[in-house]
Chain A
Amino acid sequence: MPLVTEPTRAVQVLSAPLVIEYPFKRTTGPVVGAFLTGLRERILLGTRASDGRVIVPPAESDPVTGDDLTELVEVGPGGEVTTWAWVHHPHPKHPLDRPFAWALVRLDGADTAMLHVVDAGTVDAMRTGMRVEPRWRDEREGAIGDLACFTPEQG
């Protein structure tokens, strides 16, 4: 076939949606698996470290010695907000469809704080040090979303 050549010409540039999806399935290992099992059963867990501290969410290795951590202990269900940031305009992939706070919550009995969501209604209801409690999803599957959010503790 003879080659046909011509000068390049201006052209209207194309544009199209492109969706890339990775259907990851991860094995959890025994420690994270226990944490997720706990969420399904509405129980919050941490691991006890060599210095006695309780780490939530549970760490698999001791942060000081590097040894495996194997003792899972129940914490919460209530806790305290140690810091937070208010989201005025949630986007479609956020866990709530109304304004909420990202917050670090130190559960009762834990020595570290866990990142989650506080559904406080308005920013005025938020303060560092406030008490919160979990709100569980009705249908739970062993995933972080089983814990829908935290809410201000009722008197």
Chain B
Amino acid sequence: MVDVVLPESLRGVEPVRSVRIPARLEYRYTPGAASSRFLRGIAEKRILGERCSVCQKVYVPPRGACPTDGVPTAEQVELAHAGTVVSFCVVNVAFYGQEMEIPYVTANIRLDGSDLPIMHLIQECPADEVRIGMRVEAVWVDDADLGPTLESIRWFRPTGEPDADVDIPGEGVGTGLGSWVGGTAPGEGP
């Protein structure tokens, strides 16, 4: 840190070392038709995905169209409340506005019958026991508190079933995440 030369008038006063500059952005969020269908389903304790008529993939939360085939997802599919952890992160760092006690786990969970994971919390088990392939189920808020928000699912908890197999995206293809597992990043190989 450089030493600065202050004018006489400021010598000996307590220097300012930091400044608070909060940024606040006020939006009105309009989720669109497909996500509104999904959120209204959540308010009824139902998890609704939508299926692409071309590739047959089930998207949840749905966005109303298949990003691969570019067609509307016209078929609604009710999904199980259980799924498999396909990726997770143990949060050990406290931050402003945090609502969970650390350490806690945020996971990508692929619900049975869907092809896209949703992100949610894992609770009711120690953070260091969470693993890829773990079977989990949704824990809902009390019926009186249900609403059109993902917070209607409090978190997911282990079901106790045996672990499921999880395909790592790109594994065996030589691209994407799977090719990192062997220690070589895509494009860095011979």
A125 within 8 A of B: no
**Chain A residues whose CB sits within 8 angstroms of the CB of B30 once the complex forms:** 13-15
**Chain A residues whose CB sits within 8 angstroms of the CB of B17 once the complex forms:** 27-28, 33
A36 within 8 A of B: yes
A9 within 8 A of B: yes
Cα–Cα distance between A143 and B110 once the two chains are bound (Å): 48
**Chain A residues whose CB sits within 8 angstroms of the CB of B29 once the complex forms:** 15-18
Within 8 A of B (CB), among A117-154: 142-143
A111 within 8 A of B: no
**Do A24 and B23 contact each other (CB < 8 Å), given the known contacts A1-B80, A8-B74, A37-B16?**
yes
A155 within 8 A of B: no
In the complex, how many residue pairs between chain A and chain B have their CB atoms under 8 Å apart? 150
**Chain B residues whose CB sits within 8 angstroms of the CB of A22 once the complex forms:** 22-24
**Do A1 and B112 contact each other (CB < 8 Å), given the known contacts A37-B10, A70-B2?**
yes
B181 within 8 A of A: no
Check if B9 sits within 8 Å of A74, measured CB to CB: yes
Cα–Cα distance between A13 and B64 once the two chains are bound (Å): 13
Check if B22 sits within 8 Å of A24, measured CB to CB: yes
Check if B26 sits within 8 Å of A27, measured CB to CB: no
**Chain A residues whose CB sits within 8 angstroms of the CB of B21 once the complex forms:** 24-26
**Candidates A5, A14, A21, A29; contact of B23 at CB < 8 Å:** A21
Cα–Cα distance between A34 and B74 once the two chains are bound (Å): 62
B55 within 8 A of A: no
**Candidates B39, B51, B80; contact of A14 at CB < 8 Å:** B39
Check if B33 sits within 8 Å of A11, measured CB to CB: yes
Count residues on chain A whose CB falls below 8 Å from chain B CBs. 47
Check if A19 sits within 8 Å of B27, measured CB to CB: yes
Check if A14 sits within 8 Å of B78, measured CB to CB: no
Query: Interface stretch among A39-47, A83-91, A100-108?
Result: A39-47
Check if A36 sits within 8 Å of B19, measured CB to CB: yes
Check if A19 sits within 8 Å of B24, measured CB to CB: yes
Distance from A4 Cβ to chain B, minimum over Cβ atoms (Å): 4
Distance from A128 Cβ to chain B, minimum over Cβ atoms (Å): 30
**Do A17 and B26 contact each other (CB < 8 Å), given the known contacts A7-B74, A25-B19?**
yes
A64 within 8 A of B: no
Cα–Cα distance between A33 and B1 once the two chains are bound (Å): 12
A23 within 8 A of B: yes
**Chain A residues whose CB sits within 8 angstroms of the CB of B6 once the complex forms:** 34, 72
**Chain A residues whose CB sits within 8 angstroms of the CB of B4 once the complex forms:** 30-31, 34, 70-72
Check if A38 sits within 8 Å of B112, measured CB to CB: no
* CB closest residue in chain A, given B21: A24
**Chain B residues whose CB sits within 8 angstroms of the CB of A72 once the complex forms:** 4-7, 10
Check if B13 sits within 8 Å of A41, measured CB to CB: yes
A73 within 8 A of B: yes
Residue ranges of A at the interface with B (Cβ–Cβ < 8 Å)? 1, 3-31, 33-34, 36-38, 40-41, 43, 45, 68, 70-74, 142-143
